[in-house]
A = this chain, B = another copy of it.
Amino acid sequence: MSSLKPAKRTTIYDLADLAGTSASAVSAVLNGNWKKRRISSQLAEKIMRIADEQGYALNMQASLLRRDKSHIIGMIVPKYDNRYFGSIVELFEEMARARGLFPIITCTRRDPELELEAARTMLSYQVDCLIATGATDPDRITELCAASGVRTLNLDLPGSLAPSVITDNFAGARELTRRVLVNCERRLGRRQSLLFIGGRGSDHNTAERIRGFREAHADFGVAIDEAHILPCGYAPEKAEKALDKLIASGGLPPQGMFVNSTISLEGVMRWVRRTGHLDDRSIVLGCFDWDPFVALLGNEIEMVKQDVPAMLSTVFEIIDSGASTPAITQVPPLLSGF
Measuring CB to CB, which residues of chain A are less than 8 angstroms from any residue of chain B? 1-2, 5-7, 9, 55, 57-62, 64-65, 70, 79-81, 83, 86-87, 89-90, 93-94, 102-107, 109, 120-121, 123-126, 142-144, 146-149, 161, 236, 262, 265-266, 269-270, 273, 280, 291-294, 296-298, 324, 326
Contacts and interface: CB of A to CB of B under 8 A. Distances in A.
Would you list the 8 A-B pairs with minimal beta carbon distance, nearest first?
Answer: A2-B146, A293-B293, A80-B86, A5-B149, A60-B124, A55-B147, A61-B64, A61-B65
What is the oligomeric copy number? 2
Contact of A90 (B7, B80, B148): B80
Nearest to A93: B107
Given A90-B79, A147-B55, A1 B293 contact: no
B124 A59 contact: yes
A56 to B, nearest CB: 9
Contacts of A59: 65, 124, 126
A93 B81 contact: no
Contact of A104 (B79, B104, B143): B104
B65 A93 contact: no
A1 B326 contact: yes
10 contacts: A57-B148, A58-B124, A60-B61, A60-B124, A86-B86, A94-B107, A273-B296, A293-B294, A293-B297, A296-B297
